[in-house]
Amino acid sequence: MPVSRRVIATAAALCFATAAAFAQNPAPRASLRTTNAPPKPTGTTPRTADGHPDLTGVWNGLGDNLNGVPNQIANNGIAIESETLARDLHSGQIVTVFPRLNNRALNNEQAERAAALLRRSGSNRPIYKPEYWDMVKYNDHNANEEDPSNNCMPAGIPRGAIPSYIAQCPSHVMFVYPGQGGLIATQTMYRMIPTDGRKHTPLQELDGTYTGESIAHWEGDTLVVDSLGFNANTWFDQIGGYMHGENMHVVERFKRDGNTLTWTVTVEDPDYLLEPWTSTPRVALLNPNPSAMLPESQPCSERDLAHIVTKEHH
Amino acid sequence: MRALLALSLVAVPLLASAHHSIQAQFDIYKTIQVTGTVARMEFINPHSYLTVNVKEADGKVTKWAFEMTGLAGLRRAGLSRADRGGLKAGDALTVIALAARDGSNSGLAQELKMGDGRVFKLLADAPDAPPATSR
């Protein structure tokens, strides 16, 4: 299967030492998943010459489409553990049990509504200042129009969540987030994050951007990515209408354990949040094919929103 | 709330669901058939699109836009490059689709019946749908 390697070629050119680790062919397509419980790690954690865990790899082992991008959308703190069991990972509580229908039309309709409900049943929510509660609720109710990532714009950070590709170099890490369809309509993002000990630019000197300015350092075996200097044109999670301001400060923690990568994020926003919010950890799975490459993602062109006649959304 | 709610839920987005709710845009109980020729096939996010030229009785050509399932679903259905069995501009076909609820010349493609007899079924976006096949 011919696969474009443009994105990876770019990343690899910035980090030639890892480029040889990848050959051409993607893994054979796994069967579709019907559960999304966090995967359990297997195998050993490779390390780089400087002793740190090596995060390099194509982290789309859970991918159910060719780009393997559901890192961005999976979970929302809810694990579908079987056809009859879902769990709120934050509280550990079973949150819902629904039977599955066999009538396709009904299933589509009911499943979408059930998904919308279930994905909002998690107990781990950011706490906004009371004066913004109405607006957050409005955002979520009217997400078809209000969601800034529903129209082929970048998902931003931390909504981008776990990158589908990481290249770890001695002086920096390279993150690639393929643009995607599916639940949202976003364009490709990349981040080149220094690990050389440099400090942040003063916030007031930064233009606000979608991924902000990021610097990273190691705390033990955990890569800690610290970002600020954002614009206010993104929401910080997939659901909930979670708007933020230009003073948002994001701290992400990446921990590799064998073939899994656990990501946890803390969002501080002195303008909108009463207190920092820490996500329920998400877990990505390494592509099982050691020769896996990241395919090109399709360009994004949104044509549906003008034809939507109800407020229903995911 | 009745127990009809289905557990495909989060599996729906994982299976290349729409970035919007399907029933917010399309009538899942109303199917239309549109016959014309392929204008273009675009493999893009968030949904691939098939544009069809439909010749009206007065000779005027009307464009119809059909939303398609995700790229993976299209490949499973056999829709790829034209020389590997996919569509090419000018091919005659009939599109069976869920109707747009706003009455526009658009729909969510469910099945393509090609003038040369090939049939593409595009139902793989629901967990309980039969596997997509082509022949």
Question: For A220-263, what is each residue's pLDDT tens digit?
Answer: 999 999 999 999 999 998 888 999 999 999 999 999 999 999 99
Question: Which pLDDT band, with edges at 50, 70 and 90, does A156 fall under?
Answer: very high
How does the average pLDDT of chain A come out, rounded? 82
Run of H or E including B76: helix B71-76
What residues in A contact B47, CB-CB < 8 Å? 181, 303-304
Q: Give how far Cα B45 sits from Cα of A54, A104, A302, Å.
A: 32, 24, 7
Number of CB atoms found within 10 A of residue B103's CB? 9
- Cβ neighbours around A39 below 10 Å, total: 15
Q: Tell me the two tokens of residue A117.
A: 């409900």
Instruction: Determine the pLDDT at residue A233.
Output: 94
Contact A256, A41 (CB under 8 A): no
What is the C-alpha separation between A238 and A256, in angstroms, rounded?
A: 23
Cα A202 to the center of its chain, rounded Å: 27
Question: pLDDT: is A182 or A311 the higher one?
Answer: A311
In chain B, residues with a C-beta closer than 8 Å to the C-beta of A189 are none
For chain B, the structural domain boundaries read 25-121
- The pLDDT value given to residue A160: 87
Q: Which residues of A touch B70 (CB under 8 A)?
A: 65, 181-182
Closest approach of A49 to chain B, Cα-based (Å): 37
Query: Is the confidence at residue A120, as pLDDT, over 90?
Result: no
Indicate if the pLDDT at residue A312 is higher than 90. no
Task: Convert the pLDDT of each residue in A274-310 to its tens digit.
Answer: 999 999 888 888 998 889 888 888 889 888 888 999 8
| Of the listed ranges A24-33, A51-60, A207-216, the one predicted with least confidence | A24-33
pLDDT at site A161:
87
Q: Which of residues 73-102 of B touch A (CB under 8 A)?
A: 75, 100-102
How many angstroms separate the CA of residue B104 from the nearest CA in chain A?
Answer: 8
B8-63 pLDDT, tens digit per residue, is: 333 333 334 567 788 889 988 889 999 999 999 998 888 899 999 999 999 999 99
> What's residue A115's pLDDT?
73
- Predicted model pTM: 0.81
The pLDDT of residue A20:
32
Q: Is B2 on the interface with A (CB under 8 A)?
A: no
Mutate to test the interface with B, among A89, A108, A144 (most CBs of B within 10 A): A108
Chain A / chain B CB contacts < 8 angstroms: 206
Predicted confidence at residue A103, as pLDDT, reads: 58
Segment A89-107 mean pLDDT: 70
Report pLDDT for A237: 87
Contact A20, A129 (CB under 8 A): no
Q: Which residues of A touch B77 (CB under 8 A)?
A: none
Q: Is the dihedral of CA A194, A18, A291, A2 positive or negative?
A: positive
H-helix segments, A15-132: 16-19, 104-118
Q: Is residue B132 pLDDT above 50, yes or no?
A: no
Residue A105: closest C-alpha in chain B = B28
Facing residue for B45 by CB, picked from A116, A179, A314:
A179
User: What percentage of chain A reaches a pLDDT higher than 70?
Assistant: 79
Which residues does chain B have within 8 Å of residue A108's beta carbon, measured at their own beta carbons? 12, 22-23, 28, 126
Give domain B25-121's CATH superfamily. Answer: Nucleic acid-binding proteins (2.40.50.140)
How many residues can be counted in chain A? 314
Q: pLDDT by residue (tens digit) across B87-102? A: 999 999 999 999 999 9
Mutate to test the interface with A, among B17, B31, B41, B45 (most CBs of A within 10 A): B45
